[in-house]
Structures are given as C-alpha cells and as structure tokens.
Structure 1
C-alpha cells in the first residue's frame, strides 16, 4: 500500500538514496534535515503521515526527542529510528522513547524496506495490496487496475502516480475529496505545488481508461473536488 512517509535525515547522500528507494516502491516521501523541521511537519495540517523514519543524531532536535514529542502529543504513526549507535542500551533507549523499530547504520536498503513493510502490516488500517470497489480492483503488487465488464475483465497498467491516485480513491469510495487534500497527500512537499497538478493527473487517468473503451468512475464535483463512484457505468 502506498504510504505518506516523513524522512528526517541530515546525511544528504543517505537521505537521497532512502527517498529514491521508497518512492520506487510507490510511497510519497517528504524529507527534512532537522528534528525541529520534522516536528513542525508532524504537527501541521499539510499532510497525514503514515510512517516516520528518523535519524537519531539530528540538528536542533534529536530523533530521540522527536520520538518523545510525537508520543507525548498522542500521534500514533509508526516510527523507525536510524542510528549508528547499536549498543543494547541505545536500542532500549530508542524504543523507550517511542520508536517502534530500530535500524543500525550502515544497513542494506532491502532491510529498510522489509522493516517498513513490517511496520505497515502492524497498523490496524493495514490492507492487503488489493483494493476493490464496484467493478474496479487495484492490484498494487502488479501495478494493474482490473475492471470487470459484462464481456471480460480489462487489465490496465498504471504508472506510480496513477496507482497512488486510484488507491486513494478506492480507499475512500463515494467520498468527495478536495483537490488540495489530494495534492497534500500524494505529492511531496519538495515538489512545486502547481494548482492544476491534481486536475491534470485525473485527466490523464480518465484518458487511459477511455483508451481501453472504459468510462471513468472519477466524478468532478464542482467547487468541491472529486469522488469515486464505484457504481458508475463501466463502458463508454
């Protein structure tokens, strides 16, 4: 399942590598270099984060203190602490501060991804990588949207951004979702927040469906946003 992840890491080469690997898995990643900036983002209304990946040694506010503040505020998102400190006492201190898992540097990216998947599976809201509403079924593992018609099931290959968009709609079927909410949740803060980026992406997804002779279940609600109608007509 795609997640919105906050990465707080001041080693830029490592941060770029982690962000690239996570985004390659379809996640949306916001990156900042200081614990204080991380705290501001966690406490803001700009985005809802599903996971925090925090370095221990950070400028302004340590990852350890960031864990403590996050838990004291009652935020329940899983936190993965990264650090070169790998003594047992350090791991205990990190877990006691509120971290859900601990990964010692240096580490393999495969292990990081495995820890991320494990933390995701522990969440009450976790769903298997298959989302379904009406005639539409999204297989996130394969990156395919499957649409059941009277004649056959149509299989459509989706880009990463199309998967993220369709996944979010399938998680909220029938709900009107504003363009700003979609932009904040599916585009990271480092990207230029072009006002029409959501409309453009919805338009591209509709065109892809139309190219397969399918109608789009994504309805535009004037002045409010978009809604996935899982019971919309399938064929054009």
Structure 2
C-alpha cells in the first residue's frame, strides 16, 4: 500500500475567534491541515517550531501585527504568505506586500476566493517548468551582466552568489528573462504569475517588482510608464 502524501500544513494567525474557527474548518474540509494562533507572537513561536507550507496572516493582530510577523518570517523562510485585510484599499495591504507577502484577500473572506489563492500560491511554490524559450545551448543558463538565471535548476545568482527568492519573485523573474527587451503589461504579469482569471490589484505586481529589484539590482528591470515593465537585455 502506497503512503499517502502528507496534507498541506497551513499556519493561520487570526485574533478573531469566530473567523479563526470558521476559516480553519473551511480549510480542513478541503483537506488542509491547519494550525492556528490568536496573535502575532504566538504565531511567530509556532512558525519557529514547525515547518509550514503556507502562512495565512491577518494584518491587524495583537502583540505583533501581521506585517511585522511577515517581516520576521521572511528573515528565514520563503514560504508563501497570504495576508487577510479588513480593508482592501488600505495602506495596510501595501505595507503587507512590501513586507514580503505574496498576495492578499479581503475580509469577510470568500471561501472560494481564499481556496483559489491558496492553490495558486502552492502551485507556484512547487512549479518546475523552465521559462521559455530555453537557451539554444540547452543548458538552461541565462546570463545578464552580473545576473545568472538557471531556468532548469531554478536557481538565481548575482555576482556568483545565490539569491534567496520567494516562489512569486522567482516566477516573476522567469517571466521577465523569457522575454528580455519586451515590455510586459501589468495585467499580463498578474495573469501569468498570480494566475488571476479576473481583474486583480496591480499593486501586487508593482510591489513584487519592487522587492525583486532590491534583490537582483534595480537596473535590470525598466519601468514602462503607463504600461508595465521590461527586462533589460
């Protein structure tokens, strides 16, 4: 008898008892394993003790808010982070994305939307497909001045040193290096990287590009005003 794969383990950090229970039960109903914390400090302790496949963090948390928690997580982990915000147009959303979150959902949480975002983040965290087109020499290596991208081994190096990119940042970079010198619309990146089949928040793209620039060097990605971004050859 074959061993069954372990269920995806999600850390849910939410201070509202009702929301924490309802979201946790909904995720468990769809086969996820959920560990829950009522505040940021407890969530941080749990994160340090156990490896999770994905973190679902409320922004407004006691003791340590979701933004601070996300920053602490990003110090040691590239696990997918999905933020929950009670105000979709608030500056808190921007701060959460700047802190390293991959995406966000607005409360009250729609279960269908939440599950779709979680599945997308998990797929992105485990994808293995190389960027297309591949280099003519078949090695999978692409070089851009101080930057080397291994599209098969999914490894990025700057000046010979490996870079720690989140799955979202890596997927975004692969889209760029697959089309160097070509301007890509924000909507196109939102669809290809975040797998949005509907209109999404372009701030997600802008802030992910901002984080990626800090890691690979701002001069590699050019802003095409009013359109999107272009990876410099």
Normalised to the residue count of structure 2, the TM-score between the two structures is 0.50
Structure 2 residues without counterparts, runs of 5 or longer: 129-233
Which position in structure 2 is the counterpart of 1:116? 118
Distance 2:31 2:96 in 1: 28
3-state SS, counterpart of residue 29 of structure 1: strand
Q: 1:65 and 2:68 equivalent?
A: yes
| 1:1-236 correspondence runs (5 A) | 2-44=7-49, 47-72=50-75, 74-87=76-89, 89-124=91-126
CA displacement at 1:124 relative to structure 2: 2.7
Superposed displacement of residue 57, structure 1: 0.7
Seen in structure 2, the aligned counterparts of structure 1 residues 15 and 88 have a Cα distance that, compared at 3 Å, is: closer
Contact 2:10 2:56 in 1 (8 A): yes
State the partner residue of 1:136. none
Residue 16 of structure 1 and its aligned partner are, at CA, apart by: 0.8
Between structure 1 and structure 2, the one with the greater Rg is: 1
User: How well do the aligned residues superpose, as a CA RMSD in angstroms?
Assistant: 1.9
Deviations 1:163-205 (A, max 9, x none): xxxxxxxxxxxxxxxxxxxxxxxxxxxxxxxxxxxxxxxxxxx
- Show structure 1 runs of 4+ deviating over 3 A: none
Segments of structure 1 that go 5 or more residues without pairing to the other structure are 127-236
What's the secondary structure of 1:123's corresponding residue? helix
In 2, Cα distance between the equivalents of 1:100 and 1:110? 18
Measured after TM superposition, the shift of residue 111 of structure 1 is 0.7
Q: How many residues align?
A: 124
Could you tell me how far 1:125 is from its partner in structure 2?
6.0
Of 94-103 and 82-91, the range deviating more from structure 2:
82-91
Q: Secondary structure at 1:81's aligned position in 2? A: strand
Quote how far apart the aligned CAs of 1:107 are.
2.5
Contact kept, 8 Å, 2:85 with 2:93, in 1: the verdict is no
Rounded to whole Å, the distance in 2 between the matches of 1:76 and 1:33 is 23
Determine the C-alpha separation between the residues in 2 that align with 1:19 and 1:97. Answer: 24
Q: Are 2:59 and 2:92, in contact at CA under 8 Å, matched by a contact in 1?
A: no
CA distance in 2, matches of 1:94, 1:7: 16
SS class of match (2:125): coil
| Distance apart, 1:85 and its partner CA | 2.5
